[in-house]
Structure 1
Amino acid sequence: MLDVQQKAFQACLQSFVEANNKRVDEMVREHAREVADLRMSLQYTQRDIDEMKMTIHSQSDRQSNTTRDVEQVTCAQREIEDGIDYVENHTNRNNLRIDGVAEVAAENWEVVRKSFTTALKLTA
């Protein structure tokens, strides 16, 4: 009788252990599949990240080149504006306006001399 109980207990215990082993094996397989899926996903994600890094680096280079170009254009613009200011100031220093002497569109020194001679009633 004790022998029968022992065999029954062993059979019950063995079936319990086998059921747990199957359950654990299935969980291990499931987790192994999940880990494999995660690794595969991580590889794709890593590739995407590497591509994005290259794109960001390329865009950063383009931005620095564009910034340098803008600085050069701004410097050239400043030089042109300074030149325009100089020419305008120089022109303004040479332009004299005298009341009573009419302006002529195509003035030259000869026309100005005649105008002054006439206005001041001088003889040439």
Structure 2
Amino acid sequence: MPREKPKGERNEEPKTSMDNDYVSMCTLRELLDQQKLFYKDMLDLQEKNFKTFLTVVMDSTNKRIDDLVKDVLEYKHSMEYSQSEVEDLKSAHTANLSASKSINLNFDEFQKSLEALTSKMDYIENQTRRNNILIDGIKDEKSETWHDTEVKAKKFLADHFKMDPKLIEVERAHRNGTFQLDGRPRTMTVKLLRFKDKEEIIKGAKCLKGTKFFINEDFSERVRSKRKELMPRLKEERMKGNIAYLKYDQLIVHAPSSKPTTSKSTSR
């Protein structure tokens, strides 16, 4: 006997194959919509992230470009300032060169004037010493006065040069330097009244050869220095057999049978 259906129970019709296909299509559409939405969200997110990244990169690049432009402008300004300084330095250098040339010209003129003045002063000094003779070897005394020196000089000239003491006229005579405790006599400077007497004494000084006495002319420091420089050459020429002697600041050299020649032409 067939079972009765409970009350209220609805009679369901069995699902067909078409119904199942419809459900599958709806489900697939829903899945596709979900996938589209997912990918859209992903793309939107990626686009947003890319835009953010691009903005950051652009901002950083723009800042670097701005900084670079600023540096270039500063460098350009610095170069312009440096160029201005270089031009100023060039102008200053040109001015300095001009001033230096002017100074050199003035210095050369001053040097020439100084040399001329020095030469003139040296000439004047030697003129004041023109009548002087220097005597070495005469006994010295600590208490010796100028008068004592003059008396000794006259006696020395009378004894060695056979000159009449009464005719020897000495303007003044003195010792050079301080008294030597070792007993070495100081050089005696004697100023004669007449140049002619001085010349005769110098020419006759050969008579003192072999004695402890020496007589020389009195010259300025420059001439003495020059004569000292010429002494080795003088000795060399004499060793060669030539006649050699000093005259003022010149070395006179000649063979025994020839005319004398000077090593330097200097006017007195």
Residues 119 and 26 of structure 1, relative CA distance in 2, 3 Å threshold? same
**Which residue of structure 2 lines up, in the alignment, with residue 65 of structure 1?**
91
Separation in 2, partners of 1:52, 1:45: 10
TM-score of the aligned structures, taking structure 2 as reference length: 0.36
- What are the superposed Cα offsets for residues 34-64 of structure 1, whole Å, 9 maximum, x if unpaired? 2332343334333322321221111011110
Q: Pick one of 10, 20, 39 that aligns with 2:46.
A: 20
The total of aligned residue pairs comes to 107
**Which residue of structure 1 lines up, in the alignment, with residue 174 of structure 2?**
none
**Which residue of structure 2 lines up, in the alignment, with residue 82 of structure 1?**
108
Q: Could you say what the CA RMSD is over the residues aligned between the two structures, in angstroms?
A: 2.5
Separation in 2, partners of 1:82, 1:14: 97
Letter in 2 for 1:120: R
Larger Rg: 2
Letter in 2 for 1:40: D
**Which residue of structure 2 lines up, in the alignment, with residue 119 of structure 1?**
193
Letter in 1 for 2:32: Q
* Cα shift at 1:29: 1.8
Residue 69 of structure 2 is aligned to residue 30 of structure 1 = no
Listed as ranges, the matches of 1:45-56 within 5 Å are: 45-56=71-82
Report sequence identity in percent. Answer: 5
Letter in 2 for 1:119: L
The answer on whether the counterparts of 2:131 and 2:195 sit within 8 Å (CA) in structure 1 is no
Separation in 2, partners of 1:22, 1:86: 92
* Cα shift at 1:83: 0.6
Long gaps (5+) in structure 1: 103-117
Letter in 1 for 2:61: V
Letter in 2 for 1:33: D
TM-score of the aligned structures, taking structure 1 as reference length: 0.71
Which of the pair has the greater relative contact order for Cα pairs under 8 Å at 6+ separation? 2
Residue 165 of structure 2 is aligned to residue 91 of structure 1 = no
Separation in 1, partners of 2:56, 2:111: 79
Runs of 4+ in 1 over 4 A off after TM superposition: none
Letter in 1 for 2:108: D
Higher normalized strand content (fraction of residues): 2
